[in-house]
């Protein structure tokens, strides 16, 4: 069994690599999402195309327009988690893709963090559970 990372950066890298290796882009996570009817054009979008765009964000490459719309409307209902036949935490996949689309992981920023009023509160809560004390100090400069 591979050793687990004890830093946020390592954890994200491991999660992204695992997701990219296991996701078949079937689109079941997108189909299960109750929020797709609230994003302009998402109810008509091809689930496989949307998920392909989300995976692009995990690769630090700008995803398609439909994927950005899904990233904007996700409310973390978690319905996508049970829908995944590969056992991927699709809610976390979308959350990490959101971080990428915000420019936090190296990809060009296309989302504005101010669009989600609690974004920084969530990042702080996440960092306190996943980052070493040194990483927290560097990120809070």
Model confidence over 17-37: pLDDT tens digits? 999 999 999 999 999 999 998
- Cα(24)–Cα(20) distance, integer angstroms: 9
Please tell me whether the overall predicted TM-score, pTM, comes out greater than 0.75 for this model.
yes
How confident is the model over 60-110, as pLDDT tens digits? 999 999 999 999 989 888 899 999 999 999 999 999 999 999 888 888 888
Which residue has 């980052």 as its token pair?
131
Indicate the pLDDT class of residue 135, thresholds 50, 70 and 90: low
DSSP one-letter string for 29-75: HHHH-TTGGGSTTGGGS-HHHHHHHHHHHHTTS---HHHHHHHHH--
Q: Which residue has the higher pLDDT, 62 or 114?
A: 62
Residue 118 has pLDDT above 80, yes or no: no
């Amino acid at each position: 069994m591979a050793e687990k990372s004890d830093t946020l950066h390592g954890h994200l890298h491991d999660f992204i690599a695992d997701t990219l290796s296991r996701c078949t882009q079937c689109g079941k996570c997108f189909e299960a999402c109750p929020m797709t009817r609230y994003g302009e054009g998402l109810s008509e979008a091809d689930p496989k195309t949307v998920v392909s765009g989300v995976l692009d964000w995990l690769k630090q490459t700008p995803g398609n327009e439909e994927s950005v719309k899904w990233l904007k409307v996700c409310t973390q209902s978690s319905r996508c988690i049970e829908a995944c036949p590969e056992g991927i935490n699709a809610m976390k996949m979308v959350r990490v893709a959101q971080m990428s689309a915000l420019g936090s992981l190296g990809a060009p920023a296309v989302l504005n963090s101010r669009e989600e009023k609690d974004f920084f509160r969530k990042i702080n809560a996440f960092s306190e559970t996943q980052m070493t004390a040194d990483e927290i100090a560097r990120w809070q400069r």
